[in-house]
């Protein structure tokens, strides 16, 4: 019974953390688009820190909750409601798109920094405050993982738009990948070499924040 209650409590914390992290990611896209003069995200109510304005009922809540509470044996996945942009300024459209695309992962890095600072300056006891410490560490690696995963250059991930705008993909190649992107991602994340590559990227991006935590402590 205690294990069931603990599982539910920690699962609830994980789901809250994921909703916040995905919401901040999408807010980053919307905020940068607004800063670059694109009126569409503000018109649609996306320039807000309210995470539920960016939540997709299936991708942000239902599927992650299923994976957290029922533990089907897969890694935790989730996605938010995509921020729609119009890129109205033809002269700066390419750079606007690059800035908007990078702003999402950048917000996850900001959250990594905030969590590491809270951990370092909070002087938490590893025993008495174990849940808080676990929550902060999980938050750091979750957000580091969101950055690494979103920079994969396969549509609909952010890395694919960067590849397009940096000239690594032609429009035709981007559209072709977009049609098959979901299937390609499903195949890739089940290949051991790709899993090892993602794991390496996660450690490389997540561990420096733990080092900052220890430095501040």
- Tell me which residues are annotated as active site: 26
Nearest to 39 by CA among 96, 80, 78, 95: 96
Q: How far apart are CA 58 and CA 61, in angstroms?
A: 6
SS3 at position 80: strand
Q: How far apart are CA 65 and CA 78, in angstroms?
A: 10
78 in Cβ contact with 51 (< 8 Å): no
Q: How far apart are CA 43 and CA 64, in angstroms?
A: 29
């Amino acid at each position: 019974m205690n294990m069931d209650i603990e599982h539910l409590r920690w699962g609830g914390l994980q789901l809250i953390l994921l909703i916040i992290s995905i919401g901040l990611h999408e807010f980053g896209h919307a905020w940068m688009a607004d800063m670059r003069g694109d009126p569409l995200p503000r018109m649609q109510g996306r320039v807000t820190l309210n995470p539920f304005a960016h939540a997709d009922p299936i991708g942000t809540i239902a599927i992650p909750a299923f994976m957290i509470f029922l533990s089907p044996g897969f890694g935790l996945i989730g996605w938010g409601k995509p921020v729609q942009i119009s890129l109205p300024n033809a002269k700066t459209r390419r750079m606007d798109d690059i800035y908007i695309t990078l702003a999402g992962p950048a917000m996850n890095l900001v959250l990594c920094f905030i969590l590491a600072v809270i951990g370092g300056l909070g002087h938490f006891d590893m025993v008495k405050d174990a849940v808080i410490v676990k929550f902060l560490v999980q938050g750091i690696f979750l957000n580091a993982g969101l950055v690494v995963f979103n920079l994969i250059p396969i549509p609909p991930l952010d890395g694919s738009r960067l590849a397009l705008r940096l000239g690594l993909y032609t429009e035709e190649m981007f559209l072709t990948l977009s049609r098959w992107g979901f299937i390609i991602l499903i195949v890739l994340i089940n290949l051991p070499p790709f899993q090892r590559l993602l794991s390496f990227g996660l450690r490389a991006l997540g561990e420096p924040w733990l080092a900052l935590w220890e430095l501040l402590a």
